[in-house]
Amino acid sequence: MRKELVTPFWRAAFKSLPPAVRERHLLQLKAAERWELALDAAVEAFSRARKLLAGLFQAAPRSRSAH
């Protein structure tokens, strides 16, 4: 398990807490950061899968006859 917060937002949130309570809330901040990163990854995967499926099912343009 990593010991430090990775994202700038969560590091700033940790540093904004009073020193007396930082350690008490560190586990919750780490859990929130993990949830955020996991959700980010899931959204990215969904977006890529959606683009892939859209490309697979996109119909080729039909040529129209002049008649």
Tens-place pLDDT, residues 3-33: 789 999 999 999 999 999 999 999 999 999 9
* Domain range summary for the chain, segments of one domain joined by +: 1-45
Q: How many H helices and E strands in the chain? A: 2, 0
pLDDT for residue 60 is more than 70: no
pLDDT for residue 64 is more than 80: no
**Whole-number pLDDT of residue 56:** 85
Phi/psi at 11 (nearest 5 deg)?
-65, -45
User: Could you give the 3-state DSSP secondary structure of residue 33?
Assistant: helix
